Structure 1
């Protein structure tokens, strides 16, 4: 990893309601790391400017023809290692009441960047090309849901600063998330947005040793062919999945961990890919200096037969809230950008009373959010 980033990678605090796993006061954004220098100002764009252009827009502002390309898990190793295909942890709710500790500060703001700071999107490209080597010729935009979510909030008039590097390779444009440092950690975390999923989900045997899971979707939006990466919190096992089906908890409508299970790893020959991605760096946004060449990403596969891809309707987004917010906040609306961009149809909202989950008042709700997402999109 770059010595430059090691010297600067401290902590970061965010108030973004879109990232409720990191509970901080609304309207406060604090970073102990100064942002990288900006390049030359090319053009200023206001939200009102978009309203004028929208009158001439003829395509539908809706996500169409969505399909899962592939998935991958980052393994909990010191060297960058991904497992293709990957699976998020299975939803395994605990019976009765459970008291959990609050979150700690041991969580990175950008998980992909923290694993591979040189090129945070390289794992996405590797996984996608492993599925379909001809995929790049079909794409207009490659991005993560976080970058696209920032653009959605800008269009919605939300006041939050963000930075995205826009880089072109041939006819494909990459939207690359850019934080002040790829190793920024979340500061002064309060809540249970991490400890709850750790307690209420379980990695399948083939996925033991995983740190987190990501899915790569392909869909059309506004006439553009897009490849979108999104982290997956969990999945619900169905009866024919080979894993025991788990109770969903209180179901409502939104309208009202064994490394030996893996084959020996093989190092992917990504020299050409690394060279290609290195050309993405704009002269206005130089990469931080490095003292040695970046370590290649190692690709690991599961034992035969290959891991079955979890269908998109089984993916869960998990959020936790203190009980007094139950009647004061619309959690579905707050999470709408992620639910829409990642095409997630199930949302778990887990309420707690001073860290105690699963009580009669602090229940765990599993909501079918598809109707609201579809209505919001229109």
Structure 2
């Protein structure tokens, strides 16, 4: 259908300076081990709880998720995002959103614009796009959504470090995902991303099952949730979802979340390397953990808010191209019946956009949310 080569990027530039503004936490959830695909809303990230002394950490091994949402719920990988959103905010107006995406898709587009900035060759990538009522859905597509690290392989210590230096707040959790919103350029985004941890107190555990008849008392943080509305998402209109939803945990504020990076001590981790990832999720805190032969000293939690703001200012050329590139992509997709696949092809160093077939990205009942009229504010 269309191609966008890197050599054309100089023609794309948003007309004004760009920044992420009005970042807000919308919802969150944890995947847990269960017979059926099960999320816990709002769940909780793992609590930063480091050992008091230097600690030897095992190398990563076993099952590792690359894209857990698709691995656990392949029929509709974006469904958990929307179910969590409407569980915590039943009257959310999705019509006000221009793009719904995983952070990973935006990272890949930004890497295409600034390939080589992080020192690594850009690898092929793919994601699917569907536009419904002027809201674009970006669905992440990976060659493999999980991998198994054999005992004789070495892939670093990152996953085992997190197990040793953080404490799960949700039993059986295999990952915490946040759903945030912000404005970038002239568009409103909803972005889902995985969160490594948070700093603060342990969360209070309160449970309630949306799918069953259990009605355990909820904490004050969950009192405002509408169980009836949440239940109707999966049970109305004769639609049944394989996704099981439990209410448990407590919302952790965005300003308490952190990103964890590990590396051998002789290779320092620069802000430039991690800035795109942290900027796209507006994560304010960073842990840079260094090891020698798998032995880690206790690292510090850094507030990198100012560093990321400086990076945003210093990288305006690439960020303005990112805003313009997203507009360009959406224009092309609209000309292709609002459904397309975007691929980065190394041969030719270009993005290729082609028609997308197959099923829609969401179950039918979720599309009804675009038809719902926003609840008017109470008159004084």
Give TM-score scaled by structure 2 length: 0.70
Counterparts in 2 of 1:33-48, with a 5 A limit? 42-48=1-7
Give 2:49's aligned residue: 92
Deviation (angstroms), 1:357 = 1.2
Out of 234, 238, 262, which is 2:207 matched to?
262
Q: 1:349 to 1:183 in 2, by over 3 A?
A: closer
Q: 1:298 to 1:189 in 2, by over 3 A?
A: farther
Counterparts in 2 of 1:18-97, with a 5 A limit? 42-54=1-13, 57-97=14-54
Counterparts in 2 of 1:1-378, with a 5 A limit? 42-54=1-13, 57-130=14-87, 131-158=89-116, 159-185=122-148, 188-204=153-169, 207-237=170-200, 262-266=207-211, 268=231, 269-270=233-234, 296-302=242-248, 307-326=249-268, 329-330=269-270, 332-358=271-297, 364-378=299-313
For 2:309, what is the secondary structure of its paired residue?
A: helix
For 2:42, what is the secondary structure of its paired residue?
A: coil
Q: Give, in whole Å, the separation in 2 of the partners of 1:161 and 1:333.
A: 22
Any gaps of 5 or more consecutive residues in structure 1?
1-41, 244-257, 276-293
Contact 2:203-2:250 at 8 Å conserved across structures: no
Contact 1:80-1:296 at 8 Å conserved across structures: yes
Any gaps of 5 or more consecutive residues in structure 2?
117-121, 213-230, 314-380
Contact 2:234-2:241 at 8 Å conserved across structures: no
Contact 2:63-2:147 at 8 Å conserved across structures: no
Q: Give, in whole Å, the separation in 2 of the partners of 1:156 and 1:226.
A: 21
Deviation (angstroms), 1:162 = 0.7
Q: Give, in whole Å, the separation in 2 of the partners of 1:145 and 1:174.
A: 12
Deviation (angstroms), 1:185 = 4.8
Q: Greater relative contact order (Cα 8 A, min sep 6): structure 1 or 2? A: 2
Q: Give, in whole Å, the separation in 1 of the partners of 2:114 and 2:238.
A: 36
Aligned length: 286
Q: Give, in whole Å, the separation in 2 of the partners of 1:274 and 1:60.
A: 48
Structure 1 stretch displaced more, 337-346 or 180-189: 180-189
Identify, as 1 or 2, the structure richer in helix. Answer: 2
Give TM-score scaled by structure 1 length: 0.70
1:164-207 per-residue CA deviation (whole Å, 9 max, x = no partner) reads 10111221101111012444556744211000000111123xx2
Give 2:354's aligned residue: none
Q: 1:184 to 1:101 in 2, by over 3 A?
A: closer
Q: 1:70 to 1:97 in 2, by over 3 A?
A: same
Give 1:13's aligned residue: none
Contact 1:60-1:221 at 8 Å conserved across structures: no
Q: 1:112 to 1:357 in 2, by over 3 A?
A: same
Q: Give, in whole Å, the separation in 1 of the partners of 2:238 and 2:306.
A: 42
Contact 2:209-2:245 at 8 Å conserved across structures: no
Q: Give, in whole Å, the separation in 2 of the partners of 1:121 and 1:242.
A: 26
Identify, as 1 or 2, the structure richer in strand. Answer: 2
For 1:263, what is the secondary structure of its paired residue?
A: strand
